[in-house]
Amino acid sequence: MKVEEIRKDFPIFQQQVNGHPLVYLDNAATTQRPRQVVEAVMRFYQDANANVHRSVHTMSYRATELYEGARKKIASFINASSWREIVWVRGATEGLNLLAYSLGLYHLREGDEIVLTVMEHHSNMVPWQRIAQLKNLRIVYAGVTPEGRLDIEDLKAKISSRTRLISVIHASNVLGVVNPVGEIAQLARDAGAIFIVDAAQSAPHMPIDVEAMGCDFLVASGHKMLGPTGIGFLYGRRERLEAMEPFQSGGDMIEHVTLEGATWNELPWKFEAGTPNIAGAIGLGAAVDYINNVGLTDMLEHEKELRRYAVERIRELGGVDIYTPDGDDVLGIVSFNIHGIHPHDVAGYLDQCGIEVRSGHHCTQPLMECLRIENAVRASFYLYNTKEEVDRLVEALARVKKLFRV
């Protein structure tokens, strides 16, 4: 991959932070945007701005074409069988809330069980907990193995005749491990359960094929894959979406309204109430074009190589706990702690060196509890990162160890 060429598309890397060239290693939180994405959003506002679906004028047709065109790009990006299976949402969080409420309120009954894992992001835990309270459902959690992988045997043991739904993180935002979703899809089918995949951390980094995976639903966030904030997508198998009630209600999601009630629009608009994030969807379409041009397979190899290199060099420092397991099933994420230094102090020092990483619980407090920690430092890589940047990270870590005398 021509990383130096790629970096030229990202104006943000031309700046200095705290007197140093910016090293951006917080890509699991949000990625940077190439100028192609920024320009697509700008072009929409400058040349084609209007509301979608509502008006018969030329500008509205133009906006609608761009907006719906972006949806088709997402459908092909994840190999959905139809663009009608792609619902625009604000991000993975809204996608999971949509599912928790639309499925939970109408399709789950008292005593039904939901299987999650302890490595879920809070977004795939808290909405289910709230629905479980409302509807008297039971949530059971599959654990992680000591080396930091999903305990698949435990997951199998947690599936029972009462299991109605299984929802699983595809790639952990802390451990970087990719879960065997194909195998879990088969377990869900055997149990007659709905299967949901949280692809917030996988869709930006590895090819996704929802047909081959066999999931019923999948969610992802645009801002973690070079796209704008406030836009993401929910994939849903057509017959599942057809059978579901809407989440939010208002304009555009209806077919006909009387004073007594309403009927619903066709898919996918049944789930898109109100004026959507038109510019965001168009920007995400441009982001997908950019990723396709570079090639996800090459990106994945590059990011895994950076992770391998970073783990090796961080390990050499000594006095470090690394939570990310080794293996080819691990994406470009390294989570660690330096003995005797609080992760926020590490991240604060790195920031002084122009190096941006995340520290904290990463919205995975139950996973942190399993790891017997409260917080960790996390470096997460993307296509524009380099080995030289990893070197700068490791050199700064060595300095912070000296500074704290550990």
Residue 347, interface with ligand C6P (CB under 6 A)?
no
23, 28, 188, 383: which one binds ligand C6P (CB under 6 A): 28
Site for ligand C6P in 72-111 (CB under 6 A): 91-93
Q: CA-to-CA distance for 260 and 262, rounded, in angstroms?
A: 7
SS3 annotation, 235-265? EECHHHHHHCCCCCCCCCCEEEECCCCEEEC
User: Could you say which of 201, 277, 337, 385 contacts ligand C6P (CB under 6 A)?
Assistant: 201
Does 126 engage in binding with ligand C6P (CB under 6 A)? no
Instruction: Report, in Å, the least distance between residue 325 CB and ligand C6P.
Output: 17
Per the CB < 8 A criterion, the answer to whether 301 and 295 are in contact is no
Distance CA 53, CA 68 (A): 10
Rounded Cα–Cα distance for residues 122 and 310 (Å): 27
C-alpha separations of 364 from 84, 223, 335 in Å:
32, 19, 13
Which of these segments, 17-25, 209-217, 286-294, 358-366, binds ligand C6P (CB under 6 A)? Answer: 358-366
Nearer to ligand C6P (CB atom), residue 191 or residue 283: 283
Nearby residues of 108 by Cβ (< 8 Å), 6 or more positions away: 114, 131, 135, 137, 164, 165
When asked if residue 169 is in the footprint of ligand C6P (CB under 6 A), the reply is: yes
Q: Tell the smallest beta-carbon distance from residue 324 to ligand C6P (Å).
A: 13
Residues listed for the chain: 406
Q: What are the Cα distances from residue 256, in Å, to 51, 56, 88, 261, 267?
A: 20, 19, 22, 8, 15
Nearer to ligand C6P, 64 or 221 (CB): 221
Q: Which is nearer to ligand C6P, 191 or 203 (CB)?
A: 203
List, in order, residues 6 or more apart from 197 with CB less than 8 Å away: 167, 168, 170, 181, 213, 215, 217, 218, 219
Segment contacting ligand C6P by CB under 6 A, of 100-108, 193-201, 299-307, 388-396: 193-201
Q: How far is the CB of 221 from ligand C6P (least distance, A)?
A: 3
12 near ligand C6P, rule: CB under 6 A: no
CB neighbours of residue 222 within 10 Å: 34
Q: Which residue in the set 84, 149, 362, 392 belongs to the binding site for ligand C6P (CB under 6 A)?
A: 362
Single-letter code of the amino acid located at 55: S
Q: Of 97 and 265, which CB lies nearer to ligand C6P in the complex structure?
A: 97
- 71 vs 362, which CB is nearer to ligand C6P? 362
Could you tell me how many residues of this chain bind ligand C6P (CB under 6 A)?
Answer: 16
Residue 215: phi and psi, rounded to 5, are: -85, 160
**Cβ closest to ligand C6P, residue 71 vs residue 121:** 121
Taking each helix axis from N to C terminus, what angle separates 278-294 and 296-317, rounded to the nearest 10 degrees? 80
Active site residue 363: yes
Applying CB under 6 A, the span of 1-9, 194-202, 237-245, 304-312 interacting with ligand C6P comes to 194-202
32 makes contact with ligand C6P (CB under 6 A):
no
User: Where in the sequence numbering do the catalytic residues fall?
Assistant: 363
List of residues contacting ligand C6P (CB under 6 A): 28-29, 91-93, 121, 123, 169, 173, 198, 200-201, 221, 358, 362-363
